[in-house]
Amino acid sequence: MFRGSITALITPFREGQVDEKAFQDLVEWQIQQGVHGLVPCGTTGESPSLTHEEHERIVDLCVEVAAKRVPVIAGTGSNSTSEAVSLTRHAAAAGAAAALVVMPYYNKPTPEGQYQHFKAIAENVDIPIIIYNIPGRCVVDMTVDTMGRLAKIPNIIGVKDATGDATRPSRVRQLIGKDFCQLSGEDGCVPAMLAHGGHGCISVTANVAPALCVAMHEAWQTGDTNLALEIHDQLTPLNDALFVETSPGPVKYALSLLGHCLPELRLPMTDIKGSTKELVHAALESVGLLDVGERQWQAAT
């Protein structure tokens, strides 16, 4: 079972190419900060803009640095079923602990099409699969009933829920059972997910505040809900700021301020606005994460 704070890793770029050193350094820093898992090549990792070779290389690098110290849940989804099968096979061969498979975007498959898509992937690989349900990006929403059908397939073991629907975890739990892994895909919804029987979060915010995100989940796991909510309140301005513009623009900028990578994005993503930079800067200060001089702040802007 996967649980706790699992970081949805960004993919650093330098002059248009994957910055492998920055990526590996980021993975090591995340592990040193205590994260409970890592997700390379998800939406936050700009997976739609990666070549297949880059995608597979990033998964390899993450697995190599993690060295089984924390589980790697590789993003392997696509709106092409055969492509998703190929990427998931690679993740399994690379040593990933599981695959995160996003709903088929753009195609708008029916519930039966969704079922057949995930079934085909699951039957072609020997690795646990987590459904990534994010209707805000994929247009389609997987119903609880369809998820219940898929949960009968042995290696489909959970969901990353980015619906923002606080009632969903309870309905999934009631239909499928408490052992079906439910991970929030929205940092702002973490306490609601945990309170309804969820197990953790695949987090954007954990890129820049891994130790705080870990502390929040561990406080909840030990029954100290007051402390968990206190930390969540502390993180809320940062959670909000990192989504003022389309992710991962703001989170990459935040990581650049902390010295982990360049804020470079790959088209069609473009540099965030100056006003967004100010909000991100202020949020990092409010959480107590920014300890840089004015000169570095000016250079980053």
For residue 268, the surrounding DSSP H or E stretch is: none
Structure tokens at 164: 């923002």
Cα of 35 vs its chain's centroid, Å:
12
Q: Strand 73-75 and strand 200-203: pairing?
A: unpaired
Q: Distance between CA 249 and CA 263 in Å, rounded?
A: 8
Q: Distance between CA 130 and CA 158 in Å, rounded?
A: 5
Cα of 128 vs its chain's centroid, Å:
16
The one catalytic residue in 115, 132, 252, 253 is 132
Task: Tell me whether residue 160 is one of the annotated catalytic residues.
Answer: yes
Burial annotation 137-156 (CB, 10 A radius, 16+ → b, else e): ebebbbebebbbbbbeeeeb
> Are 154 and 101 within 8 A, CB to CB?
no
Q: Distance between CA 232 and CA 238 in Å, rounded?
A: 10
The one catalytic residue in 105, 160, 252, 253 is 160
Structure tokens at 196: 């309804």
The dihedrals phi and psi of 95, each to the nearest 5 degrees, come to 105, 15
> Are 276 and 245 within 8 A, CB to CB?
yes
Task: Tell me whether residue 253 is one of the annotated catalytic residues.
Answer: no
Q: Distance between CA 4 and CA 291 in Å, rounded?
A: 27
Catalytic residues: 132, 160
